[in-house]
Structure 1
Amino acid sequence: MKKLALPVLCVAFLAACTNNPKGDKAHTTDEISDTINVLGNTYNINAEHSVVRWTGSKVTGSHTGTVKIQSGHIVISDDNKLAGGDFTIDMHSILNEDLQGNDEYKNKLENHLKSDDFFAVEANPISTFKITEVKDATPQGAQVSGNLTLRGVTKNISFPVEITSNTDKAFTANADFNINRKDWGVQYEGMKDDLIADEINFKITLSADK
């Protein structure tokens, strides 16, 4: 029995590891205590047109949905490059999109994501992202590092940002990356025969107005 159990567990473990959603993993380190103080033009986040789209995978499939960006700002330098900023995320707004028409399972999944198994939203209703460094900035994009706080845990992540519009009135940008949920204390493994992948994909659309 032991000889059979070990290969089965190994297959399940490898399936969970290799079934991460598509996306380049953000470089993750400990929280950076130094914050940047930059000068430039401030644009306020347009919450109506800003969103985080998430994808979580498991052995048998995946789920997708959204969570709302609530408020924040970005700073554009005098030479028209991204220089700094921050935003907050309303964790109560977690929604699933792939179970439309199946309200029972949709509500069950959303409530589970908000529970202590995942993001512990009752104790941590707000998540934040604060830029700590901007490298290789051009008018079209940059490599951004910032402190991401989820579930009361803060880690510094680095990922590329594509700037799609940058005028004297408005700013829009996109980012697409994965994080390892366990770095933020999300340890729930899922069912034994349907393990959840460690990585979550985030596709961020950020819109801001001057």
Structure 2
Amino acid sequence: MKKGILSLALAMIFGVAATATEPIDGEKKTVNVEKSKVTWKAYKVAGGHEGTVNLKSGHLMFDGNKLTGGEFVVDMPTLVSTDLEGDMKGKLEGHLKSDDFFSVENHKTSKLVITSVKPFNDRSSTVTGNLTIKGITKPITFVISLFDNKATATLKVDRTEYDIKFRSGSFFENLGDKTIYDEFDLVVDLAY
């Protein structure tokens, strides 16, 4: 009987201790997708293009004022070009949504999940996360800066890591001025 009570008491003590050391969830701040903006910039030998794509959802996690995590979902059908007009605009947007690039019909969203945050000053941190494009997930590291319920970041993405090889000089020879560079930029301005 004493052995049973002792075992029960120890189990309760260790159970409470284990529960007490569980991390406490931080504050979740939802991103205002209407006031946030994601701009893309792609480059080729003979110039480049740029445009926008909308966030579908997103949030940042904080412990006090310290960023600790976050998750963002991008609505790929909203991908548009902002540097062209008319037929050329429609042609580029259609091509970017095709299987040569983002396969939007089969992959309606892309996603970024922050896995670690290392602050290097009061407002900026080096962030590592998992970026999923076309169902392929790869790690990515970038700097994020926070100012008064706003966050900004620029991500440099190697499209070939996500099976987007169209006119890549890394995979095809003799493309000349038709070469499209492997890296593109995402400039993110978040409001939360």
Band the TM-score falls in, shorter-chain normalisation: 0.7 to 0.9
- Distance in structure 2 (CA, Å) of the matches to 1:136 and 1:200: 25
- Structure 1 residue 172 corresponds to structure 2 residue 157: no
Query: Partners in 2 of 1:139 and 1:206 — Cα distance?
Result: 18
Q: Secondary structure at the match of 1:48?
A: coil
**Cα displacement string for residues 48-87 of structure 1 (whole angstroms, at most 9, x for unaligned residues):** 1112111111111110100011112111112x11111101
How big is the shift at 1:138? 4.6
2:119 is aligned to 136
Q: Percent identity?
A: 38
Q: Does 1:184 align with 2:169?
A: no
Q: Check whether the contact 1:140–1:163 (CA below 8 A) recurs between aligned residues.
A: yes
Higher normalized contact order (CA 8 Å, seq sep 6+, divided by chain length): 1
Q: 1:89 aligns with which of 58, 70, 74?
A: 74
Cα distance, 1:64–1:46 mapped onto 2, change above 3 Å: same
1:154 to 137, 146, 149: 137
> Where in structure 1 are there 5+ consecutive unaligned residues?
1-36, 166-170
Residue-by-residue CA offset, 1:123-156 (whole Å, 9 max, x unaligned): 0001110010111265412111111000110001
Runs of 4+ in structure 1 off by over 3 angstroms are none
The alignment yields a C-alpha RMSD, in angstroms, of 1.6
Q: Compute the displacement of 1:176 (Å).
A: 1.4
In structure 2, what residue type is equivalent to 1:86? E
Instruction: Figure out how many residues of one structure are paired with residues of the other and give that number.
Output: 164
2:33 matches 1:55: no
Counterparts of 1:1-210 in structure 2, within 5 Å, are: 39-78=25-64, 80-99=65-84, 102-136=85-119, 138-165=121-148, 171-189=149-167, 192-193=175-176, 194-208=178-192
Equivalent residues of 1:51, 1:205 under 8 A apart:
yes
- Aligned partners of 1:88, 1:203: CA distance in 2, in Å? 15
Amino acid at match of 1:159: F
In the aligned structure 1, how far is the partner of 2:189 from the partner of 2:87? Answer: 29
In 2, the alpha carbon distance for the partners of 1:104 and 1:155 equals 34
Letter in 2 for 1:89: V
Report deviation, 1:192: 2.8
What's 2:12 paired with?
Answer: none
Distance 2:27 2:145 in 1: 19
Q: Report if aligned partners of 1:82, 1:137 keep a CA contact under 8 Å in 2.
A: no
SS of structure 1 residue aligned to 2:179: strand
- Do the aligned residues in 2 keep the contact of 1:82 with 1:141 (CA within 8 Å)? no
